């Protein structure tokens, strides 16, 4: 079946809104109207996901796909908890790790719509602990870190797109990584305020706006939500995102009644062996009510809950009468915001032809090789450390959520296999076939 191709983001959320004018942004290229439309094939998807368990050795996997405002696919295969014989199910609770980040971005952009900050405001305007932050510029003759003033301070926009200059985290090599580890921001007994103050004491690794480097910046976003709203971050999410969207199973601390639905977390070796990670380590944040509620990671959710979040984005910020964001704000978040001079994008390029918006990777060109995952120009998405994934495809009116629970991220071909199957018949989105 063929139909005229929707144009990415031109038809997406084209309604006006009563909010401050948004800056001009790069938009995906127009389509010629000739490409086929993605068709969700249940049998093909079942075969793909079943093979991930039966042949690739995953313990369990599940997926939910909506298209054109209705459920187009659900499937669950294998076990949520192999050792207890509990199958993967629709209501299984999983740790979504970095899929927490888009939720944080949505919360902060609600406050943007209220005019409480501007994107190019210096971060220090709202978080004074960042005033006078220094930039690492090598070492002096005695081998001590040489710190200088950056050409400009990091802005809120930098924090939203991972260009602020922050180190990548505790795994960062070199002297700035050493300083970060010595400061120790990653402590679950710290509040967001304490974490961010410690982060602000660490020198910048690079000049703001010159690189894309994944970092704890989204925890800074969460702290901005607290400062600007006057509410604890978790309370803000419940009142302004989860409650209105009826996301009843999305939270940080697991409740006693949750444990019968929680998926175990596994470690996958190079040869595919899956070893269960002990609960004390696997649920070190979710297993108790920690002081830290990070914006970067930490939420648990279900397929249906996270799909409600994804559908809200596809619908221009509204779902079932609950208005979460204005259409133009969603369009802003899902548009490439990286400056053209930013060519150092770390591992982002490994996800395909990608730019980056606000807490979303944004596809800016079709897959260029057979090794790339399939995907439509104009889609925006993110994934999580335990190999969870979601995306929003305005062109095909598709939202998809994929769950698995194993580390490390990216080991195996789960994401590519799933994407390739969804877009198998879509000539503009399918990766070239060998």
pLDDT tens digits in sequence order for the chain, 434 residues long: 333 333 333 233 332 333 333 333 333 334 344 345 789 999 999 999 999 999 999 999 999 999 999 999 999 999 999 999 999 999 999 999 999 999 999 999 999 999 999 999 999 999 999 999 999 999 888 888 899 999 999 999 999 999 999 999 999 999 999 999 999 998 999 999 999 999 999 999 999 999 999 999 999 999 999 999 999 999 999 999 999 999 999 999 999 999 999 999 999 999 999 999 999 999 999 999 999 999 999 999 999 999 999 999 999 999 999 999 999 999 999 999 999 999 999 999 999 999 999 999 999 999 999 999 999 999 999 999 999 999 999 999 999 999 999 999 999 999 999 999 999 999 899 999 88
**For the domain with range 117-229, which CATH number is right: 1.20.58, 1.10.3470, 1.20.120, 2.60.120?**
1.20.58
Please say whether the structural domain 42-109+233-422 has been given the CATH code 2.40.30.10. no
Report the run of H or E that residue 94 belongs to, with start and end: strand 94-95
Q: 200 CB contacts (<8 Å, ≥6 apart)?
A: 127, 129, 130, 133
Phi, psi of 78 (to 5 degrees): 75, -155
Which DSSP helix (H) or strand (E) runs through 104? helix 100-113
Beta bridge partners of 66: 71, 399
For residue 144, the model assigns a pLDDT of 84
Give residues with Cβ within 8 angstroms of 192, minimum separation 6: 219, 222, 223, 226, 233, 292, 293, 294, 295
Instruction: Tell me the per-residue pLDDT of 27-66, one tens digit each, with 9 for 90 and over.
Output: 333 434 434 578 999 999 999 999 999 999 999 999 999 9
Q: Which residue ranges make up each domain of the chain?
A: 42-109+233-422, 117-229
């Amino acid at each position: 079946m063929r139909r005229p191709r929707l144009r990415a983001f031109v038809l997406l959320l084209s309604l006006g809104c009563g909010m401050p004018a948004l800056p001009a942004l790069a938009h995906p290229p127009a389509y010629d109207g000739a490409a086929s439309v993605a068709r969700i094939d249940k049998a093909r998807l079942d075969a793909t996901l079943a093979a991930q368990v039966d042949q690739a050795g995953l313990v369990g996997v599940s997926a939910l796909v909506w298209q054109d405002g209705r459920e187009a696919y659900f499937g669950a295969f294998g076990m949520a908890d192999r050792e207890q014989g509990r199958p993967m199910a629709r209501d299984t609770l999983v740790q979504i790790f970095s899929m927490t980040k888009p939720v944080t971005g949505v919360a902060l952009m609600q406050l943007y719509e209220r005019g409480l900050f501007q994107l190019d405001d210096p971060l220090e305007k709202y978080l004074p602990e960042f005033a006078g932050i220094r930039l690492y510029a090598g070492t002096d003759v005695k081998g001590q870190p040489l710190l200088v003033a950056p050409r400009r301070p990091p802005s809120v926009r930098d924090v939203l797109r991972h260009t602020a200059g922050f180190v990548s985290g505790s795994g960062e090599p070199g002297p700035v990584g050493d300083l970060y580890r010595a400061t120790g921001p990653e402590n679950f007994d710290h509040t967001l305020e304490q974490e961010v103050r410690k982060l602000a004491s660490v020198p910048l690794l690079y000049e703001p706006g010159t690189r894309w480097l994944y970092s704890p910046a989204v925890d800074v976003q969460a702290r901005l939500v607290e400062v600007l709203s006057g509410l604890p971050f978790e309370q803000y999410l419940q009142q302004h995102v989860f409650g209105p969207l009826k996301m009843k199973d999305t939270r940080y601390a697991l409740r006693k009644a949750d444990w019968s639905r929680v998926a175990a977390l596994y470690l996958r070796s190079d040869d595919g062996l899956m070893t269960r990670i002990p609960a004390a380590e696997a649920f070190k944040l979710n297993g108790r009510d920690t002081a830290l509620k990070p914006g970067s990671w930490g939420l648990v959710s279900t397929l249906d809950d996270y799909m409600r979040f994804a559908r809200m984005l596809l619908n221009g910020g509204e779902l079932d009468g609950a208005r979460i964001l204005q259409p133009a704000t969603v369009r802003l978040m899902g548009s490439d915001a990286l400056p053209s001079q930013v060519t150092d994008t770390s591992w982002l390029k490994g996800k395909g032809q990608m730019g980056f918006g606000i807490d979303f990777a944004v596809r800016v060109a079709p897959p260029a090789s057979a090794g790339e995952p399939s995907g439509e120009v104009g889609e925006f998405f993110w994934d999580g450390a335990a190999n969870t994934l979601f995306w929003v495809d305005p062109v095909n009116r598709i939202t998809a959520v994929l769950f698995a629970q194993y580390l490390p991220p990216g080991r195996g071909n789960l994401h590519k296999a799933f994407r390739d199957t969804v877009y198998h018949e879509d000539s503009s989105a399918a990766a070239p076939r060998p």
